[in-house]
Structures are given as structure tokens and as C-alpha cells.
Amino acid sequence: MMSMNDTVATPVLQRPRADDRYPSRFGSEVLISRRLDPVVWGRSGQGPLSESQLMYYTDHGHLHFDDLLSADEVQACLDELARLRADTAVKAADEAVIEPGSRELRSIFAVHRSSEVLRRLARHPRLVAIARQLLGGDVYIHQSRVNYKGGFRGKEFYWHSDFETWHVEDGIPAMRMVSCSIALTANTPYNGPLMIIPGSHQRFVSCVGATPDNHYRESLRQQDIGVPDDVSLSQLVEDFGITAPIGLAGSVTFFECNVMHGSSSNITPLPRSNVFLVFNSVENTPVDPFCGLAPRPNFIAEREDFTPVGR
Ligand code: 6CS
Ligand code: FE
């Protein structure tokens, strides 16, 4: 129920641009349309993934790898997360996002730029080789972040398609991106693991509601615009179910940019701290945001340096 003081954003664009292949947030009608882009852009033999792994990813929109990072690599990242968390200047920076309803650190963005350890992680040869094969060539980092999801008070990330936001608010034209979620603590069934609707990446769910100015200031704490309506979400779950790729520290889940996903709050004492690296193809760099607003800051969406990583 909206109250009088709720700000209602009026659409900056009254209708989608001619180059907008995935219009969203333009009206009050929800639309579920078919994906227009390939899921896998490379081929077997062009990287470490087998034909059956590529087929699984095409159908399900995610791939999970246990023990992809060594214990030493995990420990170096955990030490870095603790250092960042203890640095008051980091917590006061624009790149830091505080949990709604507490002073807990929720996320830090652009960690591949602020941390030498995480810059190296973003260039990890095994991670980059998988991203290059899935995206069919050179890749750069569109976004990186640490989601701390601390014990007791780590809040949820409501269901969403990342691509819907990265298309509408960052101007990414096509579904040629992949997120890599790196578990630095055990992701168990109980401490708010990533939940995925496997197969949902094959459909584009347009959302209702116009994008507010500087939406990221709210959406990174709690996203209310650019999320699917209950009916669409129920339909996706009825058709595809829900899966939660759990794993120990050092495990990695690659998930397609348009797969519907979310995660619940963490009320256990066990932190669920993951690093997320978002790889984009250098053939898919951002254009003007499709919502018609000014682009989001560079620490959320890279718009300046598309130098390929890890060639
Ligand atoms: O807006 C974004 O880019 C961020 N929002 C979510 C909920 N997932 C992707 C990304 O971190
Ligand atoms: Fe997300």
C-alpha cells in the first residue's frame, strides 16, 4: 500500500528505445519473453569445460566446482576481507554498502581495484578460462563485490535477474555475461546460500515500475524495483524448481547473467562470505542505459577500462 510520501518515479523514457532488445520497467504490465541470445558463446575445446558441462550450463544456467581454489588462496582472501572490514575508510567509502537496519557491512564493490589480493583473484587462470569459454572470447570485469552476509544479521538478496538491472541501469546490450560466486566460507543449506531457479535464464522477465534516480543507493541494500512480480516468480518455480549450489570454502559457482536468483537472510552464527566477479565479453560493452537515466558509478558498472583480463 503506497503512502502519500512514497516517491513515485516517473519513467524518463515513455517507451523503449529502438535498440532495446529486452525492455523492462516501462509499464504496469509484466511480460515474460524468450531469451534472444545464446547461452554459451564459445565451444568445447576452447577451454576447460567439456561438451556435457557446456550442455548442462545451457540448460540450467549454472555450474558448480568444488575445491577450485586452494586453502592458501582462500586464506589469503579471507585475510583481505578482514583487513577491508576493519578499515574505517573502506566502510565510509561509496563502494561500501551497509545492511538495512544495522551498521553491519553488507557489500564492498570494485574490490578487484581496491585490493591487490582480489585483483589477482579476478585474473585467476582457471576462473578466466571458464569465463572466456562461456562468453566466447576476451572478457573484462564489469563488476566485483564482496557480499559478507555475516552471521546473525546478514540480510537477504531478494529474487532478481542481474541482467535486468545491468541492461536497464548500466546499458549492457546482450546476455553475454557470467557471474562467478567464490565461497570464502562454507555455503551451507542454512546460512543464506545462493538460490537459483535453474533454466529461468531462458526467459526474460520484464519488471514493472520505473527506475528512480540514483536507484543503486537503495537497491544495493534492498532491491524493490527490477524484481519479478509474485505471479511470474511462481510460474518460474513451478516450471523449474529451486536449487542451492552449496559447498565448502574454495568452491565456486558460475551462474548466467539472466538466471533468476536470490538468497535468504543468515540467522546462523556462520558467515556466508562470497566474492562475486562479473565477467562481460569485450564485444558487449555498455551503451547508454536503457532506462534513460545517467549511468551508474564506475565502481558498480565498468564503463572506462575494458582491457581483457587473463589473456
Ligand atoms: O545492481 C547490481 O548490480 C547488484 N544487485 C544485485 C542484487 N545483484 C547484482 C549486483 O550485485
Ligand atoms: Fe544478483
Whose Cα sits closest to atom 10 in ligand 1? 162
Ligand 2 centroid distance, CA of 119 (Å):
21
pLDDT (0 to 100) of residue 30: 86
Ligand that lies nearest to the alpha carbon of residue 142, given by its number in the listed order: 1
Distance CA 55, CA 40 (A): 9
Ligand 1 touching residue 157 (CB < 6 A): yes
In this predicted model, what pLDDT tens digit does every residue of 190-227 receive, in sequence order?
999 999 999 999 999 999 989 999 999 999 999 999 99
Cβ atoms < 10 Å from Cβ of 231: 10
pLDDT (0 to 100) of residue 10: 73
pTM of the predicted structure, to 2 decimals = 0.95
In the β-sheet with 62-65, what is the strand arrangement from edge to edge? 62-65, 252-256, 177-183, 274-281, 139-147, 105-109, 96-98
Ligand that lies nearest to the alpha carbon of residue 107, given by its number in the listed order: 1
pLDDT (0 to 100) of residue 8: 62
Q: Is 88 helix (H, G, I), strand (E, B) or coil?
A: helix
Residues with CB in 5 Å of ion ligand 2: 162
In this predicted model, what pLDDT tens digit does every residue of 97-132 receive, in sequence order?
998 888 889 999 999 999 999 999 999 999 999 999
Confidence grade of residue 6 (pLDDT, cut at 50, 70, 90): low
Taking the CA of residue 301 as reference, the ligand 1 atom at the shortest distance is 3
pLDDT (0 to 100) of residue 2: 46
- Buried b / exposed e over 22-32, threshold 16 CB at 10 Å, is bbbbbbeeeee
In this predicted model, what pLDDT tens digit does every residue of 8-34 receive, in sequence order?
677 778 899 999 999 999 988 889 999
Among 32, 50, 30, 31, residue whose Cα is nearest residue 40? 50
Cβ atoms < 10 Å from Cβ of 14: 9
Q: Is 187 helix (H, G, I), strand (E, B) or coil?
A: strand
The DSSP output letter for 62 is: E
In this predicted model, what pLDDT tens digit does every residue of 278-290 receive, in sequence order?
999 999 999 999 9
Ligand 1 centroid distance, CA of 292 (Å):
19
Domains and CATH numbers, the chain: 31-67+74-142+153-185+195-245+255-281 (2.60.120.620)
In this predicted model, what pLDDT tens digit does every residue of 45-57 receive, in sequence order?
999 999 999 999 9
- pLDDT > 70? residue 67: yes
Ligand 1 centroid distance, CA of 51 (Å):
30
Q: How far is CA 296 from the centre of its chain?
A: 15
pLDDT (0 to 100) of residue 56: 98
